[in-house]
Structure 1
Amino acid sequence: MIRVVLPAHLRTLARVSEEVELQLDGPATQRAVLDALEASYPVLRGTIRGQATQRRRPFIRFFACEQDLSHESPDSPLPEAVATGVEPLLVVGAMAGG
């Protein structure tokens, strides 16, 4: 089981109040987690990664175990603590402006 914490605006869109728990069929990677998240919550398709490119959207970041995983390959294994459900994968919406 993988635990995912979404930013408030995506929790509202998906109609979830807290973290999301997902079951993965294969290895725990960013791609596998996002595939499972979008399959469980189709309304989130295109909000975290582009539908055509499958690349992380600007101003979205991924954190786990006090590490920024945003620039890791989507097929890299997630930290063991995330893969086992001990720690959540955090999806963070960055803020910008002037």
Structure 2
Amino acid sequence: MIRVVLPTQLRTLARIDGEVRLEFDGQASQRTVIDALEARFPALRGTLRDHETGKRRAYVRFFACEQDLSHEPADAPLPEPVVSGDEPFLVVGAMAGG
């Protein structure tokens, strides 16, 4: 089971309270987590990654086990503590400006 924590604006959009729990058989990656989120919550389609390219949106970051996974390959396996549900997979809206 993977625990996913979304920022407030995305939880509101998808009408979610708290974290999302996703069940996976076998290996999980950023791509499989986002695929599962979009399938379960269609309102999230296009908010985390571009519809056409499938690339992560510029102002969205992914974290796990205190590491920024945003620039890791989308199909790289997630850390074991995330896959086991011990640590959450965090989706964070990046800050910009000056």
Aligned partners of 1:15, 1:24: CA distance in 2, in Å? 22
TM-score by length of 2: 0.96
Moved segments of 4+, more than 3 Å: none
Q: Distance in 1 between matches of 2:39 and 2:79?
A: 22
Letter in 2 for 1:53: T
TM-score (structure 1 length as normaliser)? 0.96
- Equivalent residue, structure 2, for 1:14: 14
Moved more, 34-43 or 18-27: 18-27
Equivalent residues, number: 98
Q: 1:27 Cα shift?
A: 1.3
Gaps of 5+ in 1: none
Name 1:69's counterpart in structure 2: 69
User: Identity of aligned pairs, percent?
Assistant: 67
The corresponding residue for 2:43 is 43
Structure 2 gaps of 5+ residues are: none
Q: 1:80-91 residue pairs with structure 2 within 5 A?
A: 80-91=80-91
Q: Is the 8 A contact 1:26 1:32 kept in 2?
A: no
* Residue 2 in structure 1 maps to residue 6 in structure 2: no
Secondary structure at the counterpart of residue 32 of structure 2: helix
Q: Distance in 1 between matches of 2:33 and 2:26?
A: 10
C-alpha distance in 1 between matches for 2:23 and 2:50 = 23
Q: CA RMSD in A?
A: 0.9
Q: For residues 6 and 86 of structure 1, what CA distance do their matches in structure 2 show?
A: 17
Displacement of 1:24 after TM fit? 2.2
